[in-house]
Structure 1
Amino acid sequence: MQKFFWLVAAVLLYGCSGSNPIKTTLFDVPPYKRYVRSLEKADLDKTVMAQAWLAAGQRALNDSVEVSLPFSESGYFKATEPDARSYQFIAKEGQVLTVNGAVVSFQNATFFLDLFSWEEDGWKELVHADSSMTMSYEFEKDMTCLIRIQPELLLDAYYTLSISATPVLINPVAGADNKSIGSFYGASRDGGKRSHEGVDIFAKKGTPVIAPTSGYISRVSTNNLGGKVVWMQDKKRQHSYYFAHLDSQLVKPGATVKQGDTLGTVGNTGNARYTPSHLHFGIYRSKSKDPINYIRTLEAVTEALPWDTTFRQSDFKVVSKEVNFRAGPGEKHLVKTSLKKDTYVKVIAQSNAWYRVALPDKSQGFLTKKSIAPIENGKRIKLKSPAVVRTGINDEAVPVAHLNKPTTIYLLAQFEGYQFIKTKEGLTGWLVL
């Protein structure tokens, strides 16, 4: 009890300190690690609650939950059950990740939100959110990434989270969209003698060609292949942008341009004179790059739904005969396992028509909302032998009741070799079959 008192004191001290517990530079110790060190310094890291919190953070990095961007979720963290959530996804070179979160809590909540990339030896931290639960990161290569969110200890809180990816650049043809892109990087040219080092964006002749970002004009010239061309430099990314087959060139070498400034107009000059008018757009940095993810827009992220507070304390079970437990909220995501009718689940978050649920073994995944329902009534049975009812499915879980035959109980749900039951006195817990 004394250890628990000092744990609470340390958490409050950390959350109320004059320094901001979230905002820091990439060269400082990340907030999550500083929080762990504060527990270690106070000799609290070995407490049961702190150990459960640390285990939850590590488990979130090892779980196989995955999402497709854009993604939004709303959920709940319970103070007495230390937990963390993770979101694994594929990021593409040329995309900017944007994360927006919000927290509703009666306490002065400290949330940790961190972005990781997968390297050969495990997850490497890239960046962490600021105090407003926002994060932005520009990808210079394709990556497998993971976002982890976790509140400090002893915190009851609702949260919403939106994750989206947008292109680094705007489309260099005014008014063009994804459907305007008709020829892609790497396509065969001249009977296989060369490959296409860019994308073609089709538009009417005379349509403005605009700067996809800020930079300066390095060259304005004419050649047999590209016809009338413009070269632009992006100092921020060390990129050279190539605009070819122009009908007109409206900038001079050395000119500084801002995103959206007109550089010329769409045409079909050079070797494109027998094709519909279009812009050939290329990106170079020592060699050519595929421009597609730099300019292709993705579906706009929807706002996370408000959390339904009726699920805060509820236990659920599978009501379908059998249902797929998936790694992400959608039919295309990996099936982690199949759950049979009456399997116990705990709803911890929701994303559109899907619930994120936790199984009794702490693994997390997604089920359709229609496949589960709150546990209300159970089958009345009599125990044939004495049994111990525990808070969890392992032998180390805290006992809540010792039952002697012929005690009557109510069977509410099950998970593998365990039964979730309720006694005549109203106590709920787990016992071994």
Structure 2
Amino acid sequence: MANLWILIPLLALFAVVAAQVNATEKKVLVLLDNQNIKDSHSKYFKALTDNGFELDYKQADAASLTLFKYGDRLYSHVLIFAPSVEEFGGQVKVESLANFVDDGGNLLIAAGQNLGEAVRELTAEFGFELDEDLTRVVDHFNYDSKLDDGSHTALAADASLLLKAPTIVGASSSKNPLLFRGVALLPDKENPLILDVLRAPSTSYSYSPTRPISLFPAGVGRNIALIGALQARNNARVVVSGSLDFFSNAYFDAAVNGAISDDQKAATKSAKSGNEELALALSLWAFKRVGVLKFGKVEHHLVGEKNAPADYTIKENVEYSIEIFERKGDAWVPYGGQDVQLEFVRIDPFVRTKLVRKEGSKFVTTFVVPDVYGVFKFNVDHDRLGYTHLFSTTQISVRPFTHTQYERFIGSAYPYYLSALSMIVGAFVFVLTFNSFKDEEVAATGKKKD
């Protein structure tokens, strides 16, 4: 009874800590150029609120800004809609935002007109170079005839230019054209973590629309990314859009006029833009409401048994199982992947086999322990586009047969058995023959030799 009274306060404390962690997961710091953005982008902010996020609006250069308190993150996500800010305020700097991502935080950044140095430096930290100031993505073929001001910078990009990753862009993402007006992203092609979420049409280029072209543009056609993403090695996510207008109410509600499909070259008129669906899908992915994997119970044992042994013996049949869950919103559901693999590793994999999904979230496989002893690991290393990196490892020893486990007679050793038997028979015949000759000599002479 005394132990129960001690346990109750501990459980209450754990519940409070868990509630605080869950609350922090939904907190988003929204940095704005000005308060008018709250009105011009209200539909986007409402969509985030409807999905359970708590938005904390701040001026991007406010002196009270801070991301950490006592070494802990105050927010799980930062949304930056302040393309023109020259320097972030308070304790928020480019370096602190990079540290925020290193600590597991997520960023969504929107650039646009009148680009400031703060956003330019920040995107460069994650492998996205923004083109020079006053430049825009220009396309004389794929532009919206109503939203454009004559400079052909109001692009209508076909949905076929999206990254083929439903987890990131939405499984039921609209096939309607996407409206974009902003600056070009020039991704670092040497960075393997970078994703081109939305590429520019092949007929586009990046240059100042008010100046004649005298130099070759920094970005041309598919080399330009309109929207890019990065998932760091610690599974933190960053999404960068070259357009703040992409998330605006005007672009959400606009009917696309005069867009030309990049593949079919067919006119598409008066189709509602797909900006709203894509913006929400990107945000849910960036803020880890989708595409997050975790593993549950891990088991391994001999086939036909239930408990895990202290070690295995070579050539034994082993059954391995692992539970894998996928996050969708606030719920964890069984992961539906069909390509999860298990490796049985001792420095290098000795066994690589597919895990078959059984009931619910359980993935199972059986295999024979290799005829090599040592310290092995069960490794599940699952890395797929749009999902967090899932890694599970379990160490176990593999020993050789004991002397009582070997066969009494080994088939391959029969020649040796025969040779030993022949030696025994030969020795017996030799002794018998030798003694026979000795007895005959004694009988013939009648006396025994010294």
Specify if TM > 0.5: no
**Which band: TM-score by shorter chain?**
under 0.3
TM-score by structure 2 length? 0.22
